[in-house]
Chains A and B, each alone.
Chain A
Amino acid sequence: MSNLRRAVRLGLIGGLAMSFVGAIGMVDKFDDRLLIDPFLTLGMLVLLGIPVVIGVLVARGEPNPLVELVRDPAAGAVSGLLAGIIAGTATALYALLIDGVKVQQHFPNMSPQMVDALTFGLGVPRGLLVLVGGAAVAGALGGASVGLSDTIRHGLTRSVGWVLGVALLESLIDDMFEFAEPVIDLIYTPLGVVRWSSALVIGALAWFLHTRFRGEGKRFTSAVGEADSKSNLRRGLIVIVALAVLILPQLLGGILNELMINVALFILMGLGLNIVVGHAGLLDLGYVAFFAVGAYGTAVLTSPLSPTFDPLLNWWVALPIVLVFAVIAGIMVGTPVIRMRGDYLAIVTLGFGEIVRILLLSDWLTPIFGGAQGIRRIPGIQVPGMGTIGGTDPELFVYFLMFFVAIAAYISYRAQESRVGRAWAAMREDEDVAEAIGVNTVQSKLLAFVTGAVIASFAGALFSAKVGTVFTNSFDVLVSIIILVVVIVGGMGSIPGVMVGALVLIGILGGPKSPGLLQEMSEYKLLIYGALLVYMMLKRPEGLLPSVRRTRELHGEEMAQDAWLHKSGEPEDEIAEAAV
């Protein structure tokens, strides 16, 4: 019986995953964060979430979308239970092993705390049984859920999702809804943990709202999806979102505005990289170099502590000069790589990114760039009538970010639907043919690099003014990679996609140097980035909010088949010819 084998196999994988999550210290670290009072911690959620997922995978059997299998919750529960037991037992054995053998000096996270966490604080014999039992139940639940009717399952997922969302985003909600304190007190305990009673209420409410307004919700999302960029619906939506975003900084406190600034910086850089990678198809892994040009350029031009050159310019005056630097940088990076494709282009641009960083760090250029000390005391942005606004006033500074994000989005949007954008798209599709059709690929590529560089330098200039100090450690290759992940996960080539990507990744998980909303995640964010990237590539390569073109590229055959199957009333040439 192949299902048995699947259950065993997935159970062992689950056990491995659970042990791994324990071994890296995630479970005991996350155990500190209580989600639902008094029993559910984030650590337990992560640990027991794995057998739930395993249960779902086991019960799904062989995925075969053409055949609507009637799935039985009971059968699913049984296989899920089996998988859960195996996963739990494997993990229990692992915990037992670590309890007995002291390996902490080699693996610092495999500590007594880890064992404690894996046994739910109950110690070795009893805790292990609880672990196995818990995993078994979790697996069974996961397996059973597959057999439930779609409505029930969706309702369940929604309510669980909402409850977890409310729990995890406690700090954000607390800050945003300060005016509604009584409600906040109802939901959360004084320590910021969701009360189990309110969890039930929220869950039930979410389920109810979902079932009640399901049709309307679906109609709305498909209307938005199909809407032409010129339609009133799209425009209205954009206006509403824009207004909400404009008011938001006034509602949020300093910390959350800081977060918004970070997210906005990544949106800005994401939009720039989107043009290079998404529109023109040039895989640039050294994008952070342009960010550095903008940041250091601004620092040198505006800071009184800038060694050698200190023109002490106003930020606004320095900006066009910095843009010129960026254009030069774009041409310098683009020219050597004109004839390179794919992987070679990626490696060379990666190299350039590193070259810039090392040059900035070097002793040779220390007289200009301050070397390892960097440049400090970079002034903020002067606004007539309001003085200098820097990182100390995040609620105001964030508006500068919004302004430049809007500019970048506008440039990106206009470019797409123009001669320039079509040339990029043609180059991306088939560079040789594009050249044969008359596109000057050299000019086109350089234009893409330069545009991307200019946008990144905006971000750099803003970053300098906000942080007040620049060191080279803000400009390593990791930043380039994270921007790329943001663009890919959000949706390559799609402007709203990049925004969503930045929001989800930087906002929730945190950026390379700053935490996101889920502060516990900051140690593990790179792990999660990697896992998320792999998952997205397998399941949804076009990204979270893809451009139509990208979805076409990746699911072209499926769409062609669908179109062919659903063709209605359009005279197919061949049929019409046959009739003649």
Chain B
Amino acid sequence: MALLEIEGLDKSFGGVKAISGLDFHIDDGEIVSVIGPNGAGKTSFFNVISGIFPPDAGRIVFEGDDLAHHLPNEITYRGIARTFQNVRLFPNLTVLENAMVGQHCRTSSGMWGTILQTRKHREEEKMIEEKAKEVLSFFGSRLAGYRHEQPAFMLSYANRRRLEIARALATEPRLLLLDEPTAGMNPRETLELTEQIGHLPEARGVTVIVIEHDMKVVQNVSDRVVVLDHGVKIAEGSYDEVSSNDQVIEAYLGRPAKAANE
């Protein structure tokens, strides 16, 4: 059974049909890229899966349960985490604290434990801190050591994107949704991150859906590629199949010149 199975997904915003009749599936351990021109509905797709908007129609079956219409924090608890296209960290919290918030849904110490400083509370706090440091170490020295105590707004752009991913990893997800993770990075940073994304299934046991515009990343990382245009899936397959698909090319580049002159 697929890890995530989506059937007949519809979502409109006002008069705009952002997603139309979308079927999608991903198996455990896969990395699937979702590509398409701007406005194709890719981020809306993520928003609906992660519970930020409820779908108008369709089922979102994750590990056997339909998660449509659940609250975002419930969905995260179930094991789906995401990053945002425009990096949305907690700017005034430190790097470490940002990662520690990710562990919120995996822990339960409440006000009583805090006030009474019960052993459970103290152990949990220690565990949260260790786990946070552990996910930060996924990025090697970039987010390590002195960086832990720096407020997030001080980070360079690339580090902010990495922190976003680390924070999502801290929620111990089974499925990770990365929304344009390499946008704005220079070639070197992109290469590094591409490799790291590729390692995610074996290194951390997460299945990944990636929205990307950089085709080199898509080519290097994906097991499968899904192409959306105007809310509809227009192609699906390996990178090679999809990149030579006429409809896909037309969606990105428009109709070939000779057709226009005919």
Contacts and interface: CB of A to CB of B under 8 A. Distances in A.
Interface of A: 410-411, 414-415, 418-423, 425-426, 429-430, 432-441, 447, 451, 549, 552-553, 556, 559-560, 563, 570, 573-574, 577
A425 B97 contact: yes
B13 interface: no
A573 B113 CA distance: 40
20 contacts: A410-B115, A411-B115, A414-B117, A418-B125, A422-B100, A425-B92, A426-B90, A429-B91, A430-B90, A437-B102, A438-B73, A438-B76, A438-B106, A439-B73, A549-B93, A552-B151, A556-B153, A563-B154, A573-B158, A574-B156
B167 interface: yes
Contact of A439 (B105, B109, B124): B105
Contacts of A563: 154
A425 B125 CA distance: 16
Contacts of B114: 411, 414-415, 418-421
A421 B51 CA distance: 24
Contacts of B104: 419, 422-423, 426, 437-439
B88 interface: yes
A443 to B, nearest CB: 9
Given A435-B71, A436-B50, A556-B151, A415 B93 contact: no
Interface in B59-88: 71-73, 76-77, 81-82, 84, 88
Contact of B101 (A411, A426, A432): A426
Interface of B is mostly: helix
A451 B115 CA distance: 11
A227 to B, nearest CB: 15
A245 to B, nearest CB: 23
B93 A420 contact: no
B258 interface: no
A435 B73 contact: yes
B159 interface: yes
Contacts of B106: 438
Contacts of B111: 415, 420, 447, 451
Nearest to B47: A436
Contact of B92 (A433, A436, A451, A549): A549
Interface of A is mostly: helix
A438 B90 contact: no
A185 B109 CA distance: 60
A418 B109 contact: yes
Contacts of A419: 103-104, 107, 109, 114, 124-125, 128
Contacts, number: 116
B193 to A, nearest CB: 13
B156 A573 contact: yes
B92 A432 contact: no
B172 to A, nearest CB: 10
Interface in B153-171: 153-154, 156, 158-159, 167-168, 171
A332 B51 CA distance: 27
Nearest to A578: B188
A436 B101 contact: no
Interface of B: 50-52, 71-73, 76-77, 81-82, 84, 88, 90-93, 97, 100-107, 109-111, 113-115, 117, 121, 124-125, 128, 142, 146, 151, 153-154, 156, 158-159, 167-168, 171, 188
A430 B128 CA distance: 21
A574 B105 CA distance: 35
A482 B53 CA distance: 40
Nearest to A574: B156
A437 B76 contact: yes
A23 B156 CA distance: 56
A438 B105 contact: yes
B42 to A, nearest CB: 17
B88 A430 contact: yes
B71 to A, nearest CB: 7
B109 A422 contact: no
A380 to B, nearest CB: 27
Contacts of A559: 151, 154
Contacts of A577: 188
A110 to B, nearest CB: 49
A436 B124 contact: no
A346 to B, nearest CB: 22
B91 A436 contact: no
Contacts of A421: 114
Nearest to A439: B104
A436 B73 contact: yes
Contacts of B156: 573-574
Contacts of A411: 114-115
A425 B100 CA distance: 12
A570 B144 CA distance: 12
A239 to B, nearest CB: 20
* A433, A438, A439, A451 — most chain B CB neighbours (10 Å): A438
A425 B93 contact: yes
Of all A-B residue pairs in the complex, the 8 with the closest CB atoms, nearest first, are: A438-B105, A438-B76, A429-B90, A418-B114, A435-B72, A426-B101, A436-B72, A433-B88
Contacts of A439: 73, 101, 104-105
Contacts of B158: 573
Nearest to A434: B101
A430 B50 CA distance: 16
B77 to A, nearest CB: 6
Contacts of A414: 114-115, 117
* A437, A440, A573 — most chain B CB neighbours (10 Å): A437
A466 B92 CA distance: 41
Contacts of B76: 436-438
